[in-house]
């Protein structure tokens, strides 16, 4: 395997017993395979970023549709707050005499009023919750400070 070959050559180098002439082709092959592995990792990372972006867009569209549907129903004393983000996170919600930390994504049923919401130490956002309505909040990866 690549790891075993790298360890063997490194060990021989450390001991000062590596015969460069004898292992020259092995070393060149190893570097070629390492470069190939790096390219594969880069491609996988790019593919993962693309998938995350498409998923984020789909989630935002769904939240917008839910919010629109909720606002057409109306009529109860409480409102609903949908909290979502492009990565799993803990949301901080405070206002109307309450403060809570909740793992997300989640849906909260809240008394009408103005709340502050943040995710992963992001800058808080002011959100107005209305009775009988659904409000959706989306935090994307750039908002989340790790």
pLDDT digits (tens, 9 = 90+) for 99-119: 889 998 888 888 899 999 988
* pLDDT score for 146: 42
Sheet (strand 125-129) strand order: 98-104, 89-95, 113-119, 125-129
As a whole number of angstroms, the distance between CA 114 and CA 15 comes to 68
Domain extent at residue 3: 1-146
Q: Are 131 and 78 in contact (CB under 8 A)?
A: yes
Nearest Cα neighbor of 106 from 96, 95, 119 is 119
Residue, of 66 and 108, whose pLDDT is higher: 108
What would the mean pLDDT of 64-70 be, rounded to a whole number?
Answer: 70
Q: Does 64 have pLDDT greater than 80? A: no
The tokens of 48 are what? Answer: 């993962």
When mean pLDDT is compared across 13-17, 40-44, 96-100, the lowest value belongs to 13-17
Q: What percent of the chain has pLDDT over 90?
A: 8
Could you tell me where the beta strands, DSSP code E, fall in the chain? 79-85, 89-95, 98-104, 106-110, 113-119, 125-129, 134-139
Domains: count for the chain: 1
Kindly report the CATH number assigned to the domain that includes residue 15.
2.60.40.1120
Question: Sorting pLDDT into bands at 50, 70 and 90, what band is 128?
Answer: very high
């Amino acid at each position: 395997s690549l790891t075993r070959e790298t360890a063997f050559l490194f060990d021989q180098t450390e001991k000062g017993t590596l015969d460069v002439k004898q292992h020259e082709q092995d070393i060149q092959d190893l570097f070629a395979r390492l470069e190939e592995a790096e390219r594969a990792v880069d491609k996988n990372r790019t593919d993962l970023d693309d998938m995350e972006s498409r998923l984020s867009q789909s989630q935002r569209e769904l939240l917008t549709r839910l919010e629109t549907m909720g606002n057409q129903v109306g009529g109860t004393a409480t409102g609903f707050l949908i909290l979502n983000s492009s990565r799993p996170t803990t949301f901080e919600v405070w206002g109307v005499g309450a403060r809570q930390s909740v793992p997300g994504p989640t849906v909260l049923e809240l008394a009408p009023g103005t709340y502050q919401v943040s995710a992963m130490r992001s800058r808080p956002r002011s959100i107005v919750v209305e009775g009988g309505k659904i409000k959706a909040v989306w935090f994307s990866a750039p908002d989340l400070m790790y």
